[in-house]
Amino acid sequence: MIYLDYNATTPLEPRVKEEIIKTFEEFGNPSSSHKFGKKAKEIIESARVKVAKLIDAEPEEIIFTSGATESNNLAIFGRTLCFNGGHIITSSIEHPSVVNPCKQLARMGYDVTFLPVNSQGMVDPDDVKKAIKKDTILVTIMHSNNETGVIQPVKEIAEMLAEKEIPFHTDCAQSIGKVRVSVRELPVTMLSIAGHKFYAPKGIGALFLRKDFFIKPLLFGASHEKGLRPGTENTPYIAGVGKAAEIIYEEFDEISKHLLEVTEPLLKGLLEISNAKLNGAGSPRLPNTLNISIKGILADEFVERLSQKVAISAGSACHAGVRKPSYVLLSMGLSEQEALSSIRISTGKFTTFQEVINALEIIKQELNKIYCASTNS
């Protein structure tokens, strides 16, 4: 079985697993002042340093959460609920964990602008600038898209917004571990991280919250995580995401080189298929993500046909299961039919060249079967 769905989630890195198992021994409550508590606290603070280092942040700017969904909600509601209304700018290609908080804010009476993207899947920074109103209280635009891998012009947007002192949040769930991200070079106010996209377990993530920027908590309890994420910390998973961040930091050059080395031949092979088209071509893209439309297939059926041999995705895994064309691809101007015939293939650091060759062979065989069946019928 070949796994090519790393954007859905990544396997657990063995060294991260080891770290987590080791940390299960440290059962103390990090808030306790005795030796057991102090040890757990130490582990959490060490993980915070590692996550911060990965994105060039300061440790105090890292809030541990359960993942990017929670980080996105905390950033969006935490900021906007400081006001009784106001204007929010986002894009039409965000993950549901940004789209739905924004829709909820619209239902609550906030004014929300959903910006379009061009045919290459990119938001235009000029559109962001033009959309700003006197009462714009937040802009949230993703760092890279989960379906197409298109990297958004967040640096340009962040710099423009920093000048105007408008807070900017970016959902960075898909970029960490694939491209370098520095919150010093990228003057964002808040940035969401998901551990399970870079070889840590599901259910752990972080929000980068720039020093001195105030947001409201969504949960009320004790003072954990600066009062923004109350509840006794999940010490083993926090240690795990710290270890995952450390590995990415130390091995980044090797990992990114590897991603290109396995993804480029895959793209080349896929484009040899007649009627195949890369979505987002021409835009800067993550080195591991391919979104391909193949005329004559129904992506969800095709994914199912492959499912015992090669794991890929039709649209994004989070909303698979329902045959609805991807709103991301529709926003890029693809027809409904093109969107329904688009597959996402995403590689990772454990993908081997041989797996890529084998996957290409299997994909081509299955396509031939579909084409033969349709010409015979």
Sign of CA dihedral 260, 263, 267, 268: positive
| Separation between Cα atoms, residue 340 and residue 371, nearest integer Å | 17
Whole-number minimum distance, CB 318 to ligand PLP, in Å?
5
The residue assigned the tokens 């739905």 is 100
Distance of CA 58 to the CA centre of its chain: 21
Q: Give the CB-nearest residue to ligand PLP.
A: 67
Work out whether 146 is an interface residue with ligand PLP (CB under 6 A). Answer: yes
The residue assigned the tokens 């995401």 is 241
Q: In b/e form, how buried is each residue of 166-203, taking b as 16+ CB within 10 angstroms?
A: bbbbbbbbbbbbbbbbebeebbbbbbbbbbbbbbbbeb
Q: How many residues bind ligand PLP (CB under 6 A)?
A: 14
DSSP, collapsed to helix, strand or coil, labels residue 211 as: coil
Name which position in 26, 61, 171, 225 contacts ligand PLP (CB under 6 A): 171
Q: Residue 281 or residue 318: which is nearer to ligand PLP going by CB?
A: 318
Tell me if residue 82 is catalytic. no
- Interface mask toward ligand PLP for 305-324; x: CB under 6 A: -------------x------
Whole-number minimum distance, CB 205 to ligand PLP, in Å?
5
- Interface mask toward ligand PLP for 252-291; x: CB under 6 A: ----------------------------------------
CA distances from 211 to 43, 158, 187, 351 (A): 22, 16, 12, 38
5-44 binders of ligand PLP (CB under 6 A):
none
Contact residues for 91 (Cβ-Cβ < 8 A; gap 6+): 114, 115, 116, 117, 123, 141, 142, 152
Q: DSSP for 181-200, please give it.
A: --TTTS--SEEEEEGGGTTS
Task: Considering only the stretches 84-92, 168-176, 235-243, 249-257, report the one whose residues sit in contact with ligand PLP under the rule CB under 6 A.
Answer: 168-176
Whole-number minimum distance, CB 368 to ligand PLP, in Å?
32
Task: Considering only the stretches 43-51, 102-110, 153-161, 167-175, report the one whose residues sit in contact with ligand PLP under the rule CB under 6 A.
Answer: 167-175
Work out whether 173 is an interface residue with ligand PLP (CB under 6 A). Answer: yes
Q: Residue 26 or residue 171: which is nearer to ligand PLP going by CB?
A: 171
How many Cβ atoms sit within 10 Å of the Cβ of residue 306? 19
| Separation between Cα atoms, residue 32 and residue 41, nearest integer Å | 9
Name which position in 67, 149, 315, 325 contacts ligand PLP (CB under 6 A): 67
Given the DSSP bridges, would you call strands 190-194 and 168-171 parallel, antiparallel or unpaired? Answer: parallel
Work out whether 175 is an interface residue with ligand PLP (CB under 6 A). Answer: no
Q: Residue 41 or residue 199: which is nearer to ligand PLP going by CB?
A: 199
Just list the catalytic residues.
Answer: 318
Interacting residue ranges for ligand PLP, rule: CB under 6 A: 67-69, 95, 97, 142, 146, 171, 173-174, 194, 196, 205, 318
